[in-house]
Amino acid sequence: MRAALTLAALGAVLCGALGASAQEPDPTPRPPISGYDYMARATQELQDDDFVNPGFFAIDRGRRLWSEPAGASGAACADCHGAEGEGLVGAAARLPAVDPQTGALMNLEGHINDCRESRMNAEPYVYESEDLLALTAYVSHLSRGVPVAVAVDGPAAPFFEQGRALFFERRGQLDLSCTQCHDARAGQMLRGDRISQGHVNGFPIYRLKWFAMGSRHRMFEWCNTSLRAEPFAPGSPEYLALELYVAWRGNGLPIETPAVRR
Amino acid sequence: MPEPLTAEPGNPERGRLVVRDLGAASCLICHAMPIPEEPDHGDIGPPLHGVGARFTPAELRQRLVDPKAIDPDTVMPSYYQLEGLRDVLGRFVGRTIYTAQQIEDVVAYLATLTEDP
């Protein structure tokens, strides 16, 4: 009897430690498939050629901002991180991540603005502004080909759990969750659009539907609004946590920035 | 769900227009239908050819109004239901996806789809 109780208690502890995945199998498709593979050939060709890929307008702008002195410090990104950004190669593949100093979860946009405020004495960029998109595109592009490798253990674990809960939550008038389309129905057709697995390894992306670049959080916002659900704000704790979970789903996929999507 | 939602009987011609309306959560987003003039039908749900022969109007109404009563895990939205939703976008709060008359019109149209492809 006592042994049975101990076993039951041990089982409960194990289940708790493994979270939801202990009760139900994790539906995340493995290995992950990039959104690129779900695009029409014409869209892929637009991404493949750096001279026609419209995302490179943002990258050129980002490269210019990179070496421009900003704020009261008179310093440029290039002064600390290298004239060609060599100090940040691979950085975008590991974000979002928990900042060891503050314990906050930070994505690339957050790091750029934190640097501007605390080191350059410059105004932070508005989320989704052309300048912030340009710099995130430039810095992400430095990691092109580097496999996504975000950490979700240790201090990141609570953010990861929050993001996972959001991914599985049915929301909006259409009452749908992210997982219902991007885990269970990737490859199927919504009208003329093939549903992808919803990875973020190509962001910021040039999206044909927008005629513009957009961040990961803009895409979350677009998806939520399409479900007729109230979106969270770009840069909000909810979207940061969701970004961590979604980035983790695509661990191993190479960074493609600037990806072109429909 | 045998009782119609409206006194006015459903109009199948109007129903055919409703299901094509892309601004109104069109059936075509997820289902193939015998509507050849529209391209790119979705394949999330089953094709709706012959659905009028497989289900009675009462059963069709149930599947439109609240399909989750039949299968709680379905991705098919409830087209005439305000309960159990969370974080609905402002301009849709307090509104069902279809009006009662649109439900009746769509039921009447689906009932005419008696032939398999």
The CATH number of residue A168's host domain is: 1.10.760.10
Is the Cβ pair A229, B87 closer than 8 Å? yes
Query: A79 is written with which tokens?
Result: 């002064």
Q: How far is CA B94 from CA A74, A81, A88, in A?
A: 53, 52, 49
pLDDT at A12 over 50: no
Distance, C-alpha A6 to centroid of its chain: 42
Q: Domain containing A58: what range? A: 29-261
CB contact under 8 A, A228 and B75: no
CA distance A150 to A161: 14
Q: Quickly count: other Cβ atoms within 10 Å of residue A130's Cβ.
A: 16
**Residue A249 included in any domain:** yes
Contact status, residue A116 vs residue A124, Cβ threshold 8 Å: yes
The beta-carbon neighbor of A172 closest among B40, B68, B88 is B88
* A108-127 mean pLDDT: 97
Tell me, yes or no, whether A14 lies in a domain.
Answer: no
Q: pLDDT digit string (tens) for A140-176? A: 999 999 999 999 999 999 999 999 999 999 999 999 9
Report if residue A7 sits inside a domain: no
Across the interface, whether the CB atoms of B89 and A174 are under 8 A apart is answered: no
- How many structural domains is chain A composed of? 1
Question: Which of A175, A190, A230 has its CB closest to that of B29?
Answer: A190
What pLDDT, on the 0 to 100 scale, is given for residue A25? 82
Is residue A3 predicted with pLDDT exceeding 70?
no
Mean pLDDT of A239-254: 98
Domain assignment of residue A230, yes or no: yes
Residues of B in contact with A182 (CB under 8 A): none
Q: Which residues of A are catalytic?
A: 223
Residues paired with residue A105 on neighbouring β-strands, in sequence order:
A98
Predicted confidence at residue A15, as pLDDT, reads 40
The answer to whether A30 and A250 have CB atoms below 8 angstroms apart is: no
Alpha helices by DSSP H, chain A: 2-18, 20-23, 41-48, 55-66, 77-81, 108-118, 130-141, 157-167, 178-182, 216-226, 237-249
**pLDDT value at B72 more than 80:** yes
Please list every residue in chain A whose beta carbon sits closer than 8 Å to the beta carbon of residue B42.
Answer: 188-191
CB A111 within 8 A of CB A124: no
pLDDT at B23: 76
In the predicted structure, residue A22 carries a pLDDT above the cut 70? no
- Write the DSSP string, A143-196: TTTPBP----SGGGHHHHHHHHHHHT--BTTTTB-HHHHHTTSTT-EETTEEP-
Looking at the predicted structure, is the pLDDT value of residue A11 above 50? no
Is A9 domain-assigned?
no
Query: Whose CA is closest to B3, among B71, B111, B100?
Result: B100
Contact across the interface for B89 and A173, Cβ inside 8 Å: yes
CB contact under 8 A, B77 and A171: no
Whether B97 has its CB under 8 Å from any CB of chain A: the answer is: yes
Using a CB-CB cut-off of 8 Å, the residues of chain A touching B90 are 230
With beta carbons under 8 A apart, name residues in chain A contacting B78.
175
Query: Residue B25 — very low, low, confident or very high, per pLDDT cuts 50/70/90?
Result: confident
pLDDT band of A23, cuts 50, 70, 90: low
Tell me if A172 and B84 make a contact (CB, 8 A cut-off).
no
Whether B83 and chain A come into contact, CB under 8 Å, resolves to no
Kindly state the average pLDDT of the residues A240-253: 98
pLDDT of residue B116: 83
Binned at pLDDT 50, 70 and 90, residue A14 comes out as very low
Confidence check: pLDDT of A227 > 70? yes
pLDDT at B15 (0 to 100): 97
Domain ranges of chain B: 12-111
**Is the pLDDT at A204 greater than 60, yes or no?**
yes
The Cα–Cα gap between B77 and B99 comes to: 14
For chain B positions 98-117, those within 8 Å of chain A (CB to CB) are none
**ipTM confidence score:** 0.95
Asked whether the predicted pLDDT for residue A212 surpasses 90, the reply is yes
Q: Which of residues 51-80 of B touch A (CB under 8 A)?
A: 68, 75, 77-78
- Check residue A128 and give its pLDDT: 97
In this prediction, residues A200-211 reach a mean pLDDT of 98
> Cβ–Cβ of A171/B43 closer than 8 Å?
no
Express as a percent the part of chain A with pLDDT over 90: 89
- Cα separation, A164 vs A249, in Å, equals 10
Instruction: Count Cβ atoms within 10 A of the Cβ of residue A153 and give its class: 0-12 exposed, 13-18 middle, 19 or more buried.
Output: exposed
How confident is the model at residue A5, as a pLDDT? 43
Query: How far A46 CA lies from chain B's nearest CA (Å)?
Result: 23
The model's pLDDT over A98-116, given as tens digits with 9 standing for 90+, comes to: 999 999 999 999 999 999 9
Q: Does residue A107 fall inside a structural domain?
A: yes
In CATH terms, the superfamily for domain B12-111 is: Cytochrome c-like domain (1.10.760.10)
Using CA coordinates, name the residue in chain B closest to A176.
B75
CB B17 within 8 A of CB B111: no
**Of A4-13, A23-32, B73-82, highest mean pLDDT:** B73-82
